[in-house]
Amino acid sequence: MVPTIEVRFDASGWAIDPVRPLPHEAAYTLFTSDASARFDERLLAPKAASLLGARLAVCPEKRFERGAYPPSDLCQLELSGPELERSWVWVRLFPPERAPDLVAAARAAGRAGMERLIPKARRVLQVAREPIAGDARAPLACATVLCLAFLTAILPPDELTLFGTKGARERLAKVGLAP
């Protein structure tokens, strides 16, 4: 059974209601310089398949007609695979101007040059720390897929540090989802 979404969406599947940031401790927060970052299943599903051998679906389905994409959006990512039970995770997208506290936390958390990516960020993605249903490792898996797709810096909910693709893969391995 697919969990219901209690958000209004337009005909393209984009969120109509304002997308508000979650607090730092409630989500994996990803910063990308890709201004066209979006919940495009055709882009994300192959990343999930190559990383985890998993199937990824975006709900509701999104359409990007004539190259248009929303400045902010909300969706559920459904992820399932051989090592991951079927799971649903809330994911949101918005401009960094909506989250000055998250930007400040990321700048303060940066080490080894990762903090230099934060001022270049054009979009912020957040993966809710707790899945809607399913495997507790699904949020980290989804954050890693998004990191691979949009080359992000990740501010995790449980520590004040930044990491990229390598750090995300290491964390997946620690929870038994070896890429």
What average pLDDT is seen over the chain?
Answer: 92
**81 phi-psi bin (left φ>0, alpha ψ -120 to 50, beta other):** beta
pLDDT greater than 70 at residue 5: no
Q: What is the average pLDDT across 38-43?
A: 96
The string of DSSP codes covering 116-136 is GGGGG-SEEEEEESS-SBS-T
Q: What is the average pLDDT across 148-162?
A: 94
> What are 58-87's pLDDT values in tens digits?
999 999 988 888 999 999 999 999 999 999
Query: Which pLDDT score, from 0 to 100, does residue 56 have?
Result: 98
pLDDT greater than 90 at residue 175: yes
Query: Which pLDDT score, from 0 to 100, does residue 67 have?
Result: 83
